[in-house]
Every structure is written in C-alpha cells, then in structure tokens.
Amino acid sequence: MLILSRKEVEELLDPRDLVPALEEGFKALSAGQLDVPPRNQVGAPKGVLLGMYAFMPGKPFSVKLVSIFHESTPSHQAIITLFNSETGAAIALMDGEYITAMRTAAASLLSIQHLARKDSKTVAIIGTGVQAESHLKMIGTLVGIEKIWIASRNRSAASALASHASNAHAAESIHEAVSNADIVCLCTSSPEPVIKKDWLKDGVHITSVGYRPPGGELPRDVIEASNLFVESKRAFEPPPSGSAELQGLPADFGTELGELLLKQKPGRRSEIEWTVYKSMGHAMEDLVAASLVYEKAIERGMGMKVEL
C-alpha cells in the first residue's frame, strides 16, 4: 500500500491536469456511468465525520473520510483511500485536505469557464480560509481577469490573502467586493447568507462551496432568481447528501454540470441572467483527483510503501 503525505500530494496534483479530468468525470456522472452512494455521516457533540465512496470504470474504488469540526483549525480534515477495483486490495492512502480544496476550486473554475460571461474581468472571493486560498490559486489561471476582490468580516485576513496575487485587492466590505464583480465565489462556512440580492450586477456568475447545515452562505432569493447548476441532483436531497440551501426545491430546478458539458441541457441563456453553481462536494471529484495523484506517484516513484 502506498502512503502519500500532504507535501507529496501537493507536489503531485497538477491543476492543469485536474480541470480536464473533472470535466470528463462530470460527463460520466451525468451519463450514469458511476456508482456513488449518498454521502453519510456520524455525529459527535462538536462535529461530524462524513463518508464518501465512488467507483468509475477504469478507476479504483475511492473512499474519503472527512471530519468537519468548525471550532478546530483546520475545520475540515480528510484522508482518501484507493482500492484496486479488480482485486479489492487497498493500494493507496493519502492526505485528503489538499485534494478536497483543489478539486473544489477546480470544479468552480470549470463552472466559470462554461457559465460566466466571456467578457468577465472582475472576481470577488468571499472568505479567507482554505477554500478561498484554493479558489485564488485556480482563478489565477483564468485569462482576462483584471482584478480580484478579497472580502471577509476580518479585513486583515483579506489583506493577507490578497498579498498572494498581484491582481488581488482587499475590499473594504463584502458589499463593495460583490457589487463590483462579474464573478462571485462564496468560500465561507457561514450558517447564514453572506451576500444580498440587490448587491449583484446583471449577468453575474456565482459559485458557492460552503457547507454548514441547517443554514448556509447562499441566499434563497438569489437561488430562486438564478439559472442553477449542481454537481448532481442529489444536491436537492436533505443533508448530509444534499444542500441545506436547496431544500424544498424540485430536482428539476437545477441542471447538472455534466448535462451542460454533454450538451444535453443549455447553459447561460442571456448576458443579463444570473447563473449559480452550488457545490456540495462530490465523491467523483475525490476519485478523479486521487487517481491523478496515485498515477503520478507511481510514475515518479514517490511515497512510502507499507505492508499491512
């Protein structure tokens, strides 16, 4: 069994490979080619442990265990295990925190590439934690972005994150950042909405990756006024499988990214409509990213092999 540390995973996971691999994964997901049971959880007084399982033809089985303890730092901690899908043997165990951060941001980037207006020049990133950092890193690969606003209730944290990119600037407020943005990336663990409907420009694209049941960062009136996209229709199920912000909406209210990528359903319909990508985090994304890491590790001879 191959053991891969956080440092090794960071070295092996190339964002340039991750985005196209996720695109194929989303297509396969919407085409019904994956076996992905609903996410499950076990709770403790201060947090939860989630289990996420996936199989995709030509890939190993993957199992991610992720703990969410909002009073701890980091609040999300994870490991991913891969099993050979021909023999059932455990073949790899790796850090899952960096994979979770990067695959989430890469999926947001994929939604931006296909749903944001082509003339988008400004981005607002709301939040300053791990997901905000990974989104800043991924958005830095976009062509045509002139300014990135970073906003948080803690302005010093926003200034610190903004220092990581030459075109990033700390906003005085979340309102200032959002009202100036063509693309808004919500990257918080807030149990309540962090933006307001009347702050949004015409034609804005919003990505939301926060998970904090029974509430969440994305306002319901924004969702209902937007063209909504999700990873899977399971997003409309109750947490932990689905999104708290989407409860009560019919599954056909949203379009899967894979349906868009397969050209089964339309994407943006006008230059003035709002588009929203609400991410729950999907086990397919972990499988795709972890498989890339494992294949590259074998190729480079990295990691520590252990006998169980």
Q: What is the pLDDT of residues 199-217, one digit of tens each?
A: 999 999 999 999 999 999 9
Find the mean pLDDT for residues 175-191.
97
Find the mean pLDDT for residues 256-273.
98
Residue 282 in this model has a pLDDT that exceeds 90:
yes
Q: What is the CATH number of domain 2-99+284-305?
A: 3.30.1780.10
Supply 97's token pair.
Answer: 């925190």
pLDDT band at 308 (very low <50, low <70, confident <90, very high): confident
Q: How far apart are CA 308 and CA 297, in angstroms?
A: 19
What is the DSSP code string of 218-245? S-HHHHHTSEEEES-GGGGSPTTTS-GG
According to the CATH classification, is domain 102-281 in 3.40.50.720?
yes
Q: What angle do CA 138, 67, 27 make, to 5 degrees?
A: 45
Supply 61's token pair.
Answer: 């089985």
Residue 140 in this model has a pLDDT that exceeds 90:
no
How much is the pLDDT for 111?
Answer: 98
What pTM, to 2 d.p., does this model score? 0.95
pLDDT band at 73 (very low <50, low <70, confident <90, very high): confident
Q: Among 258, 224, 108, 31, which Cα is nearest to 267's?
A: 258
Residue 74 in this model has a pLDDT that exceeds 90:
no
How much is the pLDDT for 216?
Answer: 97
Residue 33 in this model has a pLDDT that exceeds 90:
yes
How much is the pLDDT for 192?
Answer: 97
Mark out the alpha helices in the chain (DSSP H runs). Answer: 6-12, 15-30, 97-115, 130-139, 155-162, 174-179, 220-224, 257-261, 283-300
Domain boundaries of the chain, sorted by first residue: 2-99+284-305, 102-281
Q: Taking all residues of the chain, what is their mean pLDDT, rounded to a whole number?
A: 96
Q: How far apart are CA 270 and CA 231, in angstroms?
A: 22
pLDDT band at 75 (very low <50, low <70, confident <90, very high): confident
For residue 271, the cross-strand partners are none
Topology agreement, domain 2-99+284-305 and domain 102-281: no
**For tokens 């089964």, what's the residue?**
264
Find the mean pLDDT for residues 92-117.
97
How much is the pLDDT for 60?
Answer: 97
pLDDT band at 87 (very low <50, low <70, confident <90, very high): very high
Give the whole-number percent of the chain exceeding pLDDT 90: 96
